[in-house]
Structures are given as structure tokens and as C-alpha cells.
Structure 1
């Protein structure tokens, strides 16, 4: 169903007290039974609407399986058009749409392919203008459509990026003369850095619009004929703003849109002759692929970054790329390769000196390496808890000890990771304590990634034999995810 399709349940069914009680308690055995009886829906139709298999719906109705995933609860709400408040959720996007027959034509969501844009400076500027214009006027319907747009993977993603390794070429200069000077560029660079700090601390949200507005302004300046030095620095600002817009879009759930901005950032870095930042953009794209369970695509992106920066990457950048490589190996189950790449990251980082590399990679230090390594060991611990859970917890605790609440998103992710390590290790008391810290930290950031990770922690708190403390942990996770 799209965002304007009416729901299959009538108001009379949704107003039934027994159904409302079952929904409030997340008792889907009772809820599905009542929906079958009073809503006239078959098990197959319930399954199709909620993106479940008929067999799973059958086991749920029989009381043989509980729904523990918050993502599945959201799918049930959206598939059956159950208002969010009945399930303890925030209002769903489709609840905020006007009636189907009153809708105005949607603004373009800007989801057209960007992979065919040539690697020319004028094409890069036009791409920036088109992306920001469509994003800034995106309405709710377009936003709902963009949220469901799948990220590009495989050769469709990788092949168009090969142009990054080739020399760039510009276009004829514009007849309009630009008047920006060094002081103006200094201010724009400072603004781009401030937006990057915003993203690191808060994630997506309304601040994304401010980034897009600044990006649009930079594109307008590049449509004028600036001096060569000013133009090169402007492309550097565009690359950084587009990179921040990409991570903010990703944090807000706009996977395809994030890829569009990553591509723009890579092209801008290419036009500005900033090879190291281009490698950083490719590392960001690799991380997105890893979170989409595409480790082979991620590894190809990392290798593309490494190929393009041989001799140009400093120790911190080399170390960060090695950790992305290690992440891909861990996702593939290649444990020796994961350990080798992690040791290469440590060795590279040992050569790092303060102030010798750009500001955007200064964050990557021993603390960040510990947090990233702990996260990868946690991935392995989900398969072999006894082998990896304690090692993962030790690395995450090392990161927590040295980066505090000011790194809001990373701080929250560390606590969530530590809570999961404790659940995997069977230390329920510690897990509950860490979960409380995790939820408190999550309240300080708007990061969608933090909420996603909390949703992955939620199933550990569900079961028929959990203690009162675990029930309380479940309630505070549910309260936050429902807000």
C-alpha cells in the first residue's frame, strides 16, 4: 500500500474495546484473532499486509510465537492501517495525509538516478541544485515515498563511481562574475564544520534543512565565475556539506537520498581535487552498505578509496579505511582477515600526530578505534557469544571511559552495545543497568540509527519468564521508541 491507501479495518472494528486492549498490550495472538473475526480478513491477507509469512501469522495466532521486534509492530500498524496511538506508537506518516481524493500533485521527490551524471564540474553544480531544490520542497507524501526507496547496490552503485579515479575536466566559465573572497570562504568552511558537529552530536532532524539551504547557496556561488583558488575551496565546502547531508538523510531513514548526497560529495571532492575527503566519502558509502548487509559492496568501496589515495592518505584516514575493511570481513565471517585489518588500523594510527590531518578525520583516534572494534566484535558475538561477547564489552567500555555524553550519538550507541554484550553473556543485572544508561543517552539525540539499535535491543527484554527489572527495561525502550 502507498501512503494514501485506506486501511482494511473499518472504524467500527478499530473501536472495539477488546481489540484496543489487545493492541495496547501487543497481544497479537488476540489481535489477529479479533481482526479475522470482526474485520473479515484471512490469515493470508493479514500476512500480506504486514509483510509476514502466512505460517508466521498462524504461529502467532496459536500463541506459539511472540512479536518482539518493534520494526514488525510498525509494519503491522502501517499494513493494517492501525492508528499509531493504539499500539503505543507516534502518529504514522499515512495518518497525516489528506484524503485520497483531495490530494494535490506531489512535489518531485528528486529520486531520479544520479549515476549517469558526467564527471564535469558544471554537472556537479547542477546536481547539487536539483537535489537541494527537490529536498527543500519535499512534502509529506514525497517523504513517505522516499522513506521506502531502496538503496542502490551492486554494479549499479559501484560502476558509476569509477570516474573518481580519472582526471576531472571543467566547463566554460560563467559570464557572471563572482565576488567571493578568502574571508567569505573562511566563513563558509567554518559553517560546514559546525554542521558536521551538529550531525555528530544530534543526527538528522530539522537541522538537515539548514544544511541543505547552505548547500544550495554554495551551488549558486559556483554557478558564477570565481577565481580558481576560491572555486576549489568552494567545491571543498560543497563536498563537506553534501557529506553531512548524506549522513543526516541516512540517519532519518532516507537511504536512497543519502546515496544521492554521497555521490554529490564524491563529485565535489573530485572537482576540488580533495582526494582524501573523497576517500572519506567512499568510506561513508561503505558503512551504509554494511548496515544494509552488503559487505561485498562495502569492501569494493573501501578498495576504491584505498586505490585512489595511495600516497595521499594520512595515518588516521588509512586506519579508518582499515576498520571499514575489517567490518566487511567480520560481516562475511572471515575472522582472521578481520583481525589482520584491525591490527593494520592500530599500526597506522600509531603514526598519527595531532594537527597533521584535516579536521574531518581528527575524530578517529584510539577511542574511536576501540568503539568500532567493539561493535564488530559484538557482531561476531551474536553468532558465538562465548567467544566474542567479553572481548566486545571490553573494547566498548574502553571507548565509554574516554568519550562522554558530548558525543551524543556515539555515546548512546556504546551503551546500547554494552547492554547487548551483557545480555549475550547472560549477565542480566548488568544488561538492565546498561539499558537504562542507553535509553537516557538516546534521549539526547535525534539519531535514527540509535533508535534502530534500540529496536534491536528490545527483543532481549521480551519473554514470559523475564524479571521485573527486565520488564522495566522493556518499558523504557518501548516508551522512547513510541515517542
Structure 2
């Protein structure tokens, strides 16, 4: 009798699908990568036949037979025992065919939902200490992503007014206001670095700083100092999450987002908590979980309905529109995109926006909106002109210091030209985008560059051979 999970799939089928989805690959892209890892010792049949086998394997119809187990393991760079026998690490299997129900098969422990200030700081200290000793290559392979009700339900407590106050004292602790101010400034420096270069090189530095702040919170400080330390800890947790994502460490990213949300609660800063929920939603959108993402964005909007600045409201509406685009609901997408633009039109230079939301400027609004039109245009080509309009505007407005966002904009623009049928312009913009992508350390950029490469290859045009080689060289570096 074949063992099956709660979604009706054999465990090995769920693992194959999860490995593919965690790398951001379509089934067609997985087939392409499988051909790239075969050598003289393995011969695969025609591409269409391999693609059919992948679909059958992920549906649990037929257990893979030689040579597929070896090819899968080479492609995913994991052991055959981990893929086809008992998993070495727990999994949460994302069900890509059931977005509306939010159904997931949960075979891992829940995320560390801790809403009390003291235990939250202790958890962050322990997790960061372990993280600093972690082999990054092993962390990239961890696949314990939580989705559906196990994620959405606990997050509801973010809105509850109950919660213990952090322990404080009327006397001074180890540090004073000057030291806290230095920690706040260093957090802004890390944020600027992340925006400029991607988080690949600075992640361990942020994790180390986060560990230090959590250690400081083991002592008692005056209330003002304690709350500011919790706020720094929440911001560093969010940065650690974003940088982990840039390193391809999806599990660590979700864990740090969760801890950041919990660290923000005792500060009473709901706008910042809403920004973390928006980031959590963006990760779920990246993993093709739009219904779960929409739940988190709506929760964020509920939490800041009376306190959000126009800039924050605009950002949250773009996440809402993103979810509708993923769900194939173009009218809802247009409506919420309009709401984002209306909110952003209310932004004034003297608005009291904190540093953590300053990134969301006119370029970011245009880039996010254009990126969503680009996704929609891959099913409905008539939206390609909207994608070109918005992404072109983003490229013009984008600060050259924001290299990661610029690379994503340029790749999106090249993709839009490709869909529109302008191969010459796609090659020109694609070459510039590849140069920019080579200057950042971001898994998101690598994934999009790889997808663009695969799309260019399908055109099978000799004029694109130079660009294909340029992309291959960049990805190899």
C-alpha cells in the first residue's frame, strides 16, 4: 500500500514538487535543468516526454524509475534518501492546485509563535546564535515553509490588544539613549546596504547585530530604552528575513519575518507590523500562495486603517493587487492598483514617514505595478503594453543606488519587450539587465534572470545567441 499525505500525494511526489517550487521553477524549467545535469552516463528521452513524466511524478501517478531518481537528485543537489525516503528535515507541502482552500499538508513543527516580550527576545537570541554557526548550503535546502491555516490563524493575534509589557526598571541598564541611537543608525545603514547590493553579503552581519540586541534585552532597562530595543530588534529581524531570502534561504526568511512581527507587538508600532505582514505576503506570492498572501495583507490593512500614512497604504494596496493578479482576477487587480495610485497621490514631502517605508517611492510603485501587469500579460498578451509603460517609468525613476530593484525592473522590461514581439529591444535591454544583475547578490534576481534566459532560448533566434552566452556567464559567476 502506498503511503499518502493529507493532500492524497505520496510523500516523494510532494517532495519533488516542493523542491521545484522552492527554487521558483515551472515544470518546464525543471525539465530544462534536468537536461543540463545529464552527462554521457544518462540519456533522457525527448523534452516533451520528460515534461510529461514530471507532471505524472508530481501528481503521484507513477513512482520515478531509472534514470529519473538520479536526475532529480542531481538537479536538486540532494540525496536520493532525502527525496524518496523519509525526509531528513520537516516539510510543509504547498498545494499549488488548491489556492482557494489554503490546504497544506503540515508535517513540520509550527513556527515559533511567541507573543510575550521576554520569550520572544530569548527565542531570537537562540535562533540567531544557531544561525551564525549554520552551514548556508544546508540552510538553502531547508524547506519547512508554513502556509494556509497554520500560518494565517496565529497571525490574527497581532491585532489583539492583550499582551504582557516587557520587563523594565526605573534604573539604568547596560546601555543608555546614546547607544540605542547608534544601534538605530546602524540598522538604517544595513537597510541601505540591502537596497543597494542585495542581502547576500551582509546577512551574517545583520544576524550578529540582532543577536547582540536580543542579548541586551536579557537585562532590565528603563521603559523607553526597552521599547526602543524591541523596535530595533523587530527591524533587524525583518532585514535578516529579507537578506535570508536573497540568499535563497526561504525557511529562515519566514522564521525571521515571524519573529520580527512578534518583536514589534510590544512596541505598539502597528504600521511597522503591517509592513512585516506585507513582506510575509510577498514571500507567499513568490511561492504562488496568493490566497494566503491576500489574508495577511487584509489583516495588515485592518490593523492600520486609522494610522497608516498614504505611502504605507499605497504599498499595502500594491500587495493586495499582486495577490489578485496571481489569482487571475484582472478587474480586482485594476481596482486595487487604482487604490494604490490614489493613496500615493496623497503623499507629501512633509509626511511623517519613518525610514523603513522610504523605499516605497514613485519608482517602486511603477515597478511593482508593471511587474504585475507583466505576469498577467503572460496569459493575456494585451496587458504587455501596460507592463511596458509602467516598467519603463520605473527604470527612468529608479535611483541607480537601488541596484537590486533596478535589475528586477530592467529584467521585467526586457521580458515585456519579448512578449510584445520586439526581440531586438529585448536583447538590448536584456544585456543591460544582465550587467546590472551581475552586480547584486540576490536569489530573486538570479531566479528572474534564469527565467528570462529560458524564455530567450525558446525563441531559438541566432540574434539572441550573444545574450544567452552573457546570461550563462553571469549565472555561472
TM-score when normalising by structure 2:
0.79
232 and 430 in structure 1: CA distance in 2 versus 1, 3 angstrom threshold: same
Are 1:35 and 2:35 an aligned pair?
Answer: no
1:202 paired residue among 197, 202, 206: 197
- Per the alignment, residue 390 of structure 1 pairs with 385
Residues 55-454 of structure 1 aligned to structure 2 (within 5 Å): 79-80=73-74, 113=109, 115-139=111-135, 143-144=137-138, 146-167=140-161, 168-170=163-165, 178-355=173-350, 356-385=352-381, 387-454=382-449
Contact 1:211-1:241 within 8 A present in 2 as well: yes
- Separation of aligned partners in 1, 2:404 and 2:199: 11
- Separation of aligned partners in 1, 2:156 and 2:401: 38
Contact 1:114-1:260 within 8 A present in 2 as well: no
382 and 160 in structure 1: CA distance in 2 versus 1, 3 angstrom threshold: same
Q: Which moved more, 1:149-158 or 1:217-226?
A: 149-158
Contact 1:175-1:224 within 8 A present in 2 as well: no
Q: What whole-Å deviation, never above 9, does each CA across 1:447-474 have from its counterpart, x for those lacking one?
A: 110000011111222148412x301111
SS in structure 2 opposite 1:462? helix
- Separation of aligned partners in 1, 2:140 and 2:33: 28
Higher Cα radius of gyration: 1
- Separation of aligned partners in 1, 2:202 and 2:71: 28
- Per the alignment, residue 18 of structure 1 pairs with none
Cα offset, 1:130, TM superposition: 1.5
Contact 1:174-1:223 within 8 A present in 2 as well: no
Query: Cα RMSD (Å) of the superposition?
Result: 3.5
- Separation of aligned partners in 2, 1:464 and 1:375: 22
Q: What whole-Å deviation, never above 9, does each CA across 1:177-225 have from its counterpart, x for those lacking one?
A: 6232111111100001111111112222231000001001100111110
Q: Which moved more, 1:212-221 or 1:196-205?
A: 196-205
Cα offset, 1:114, TM superposition: 5.7
366 and 465 in structure 1: CA distance in 2 versus 1, 3 angstrom threshold: closer
32 and 52 in structure 1: CA distance in 2 versus 1, 3 angstrom threshold: farther
Q: What whole-Å deviation, never above 9, does each CA across 1:277-319 have from its counterpart, x for those lacking one?
A: 0000000000001111010000000011011112111110001
- Per the alignment, residue 7 of structure 2 pairs with none
Cα offset, 1:36, TM superposition: 5.1
SS in structure 2 opposite 1:205? coil
145 and 132 in structure 1: CA distance in 2 versus 1, 3 angstrom threshold: closer
Contact 1:124-1:267 within 8 A present in 2 as well: yes
Cα offset, 1:165, TM superposition: 0.7
- Separation of aligned partners in 2, 1:30 and 1:450: 22
- Separation of aligned partners in 1, 2:444 and 2:36: 30
Contact 1:136-1:212 within 8 A present in 2 as well: yes
Cα offset, 1:235, TM superposition: 0.7
114 and 223 in structure 1: CA distance in 2 versus 1, 3 angstrom threshold: farther
Could you tell me which runs of 5 or more consecutive residues in structure 2 were left unpaired when the two chains were aligned.
1-11, 13-31, 80-87, 89-106
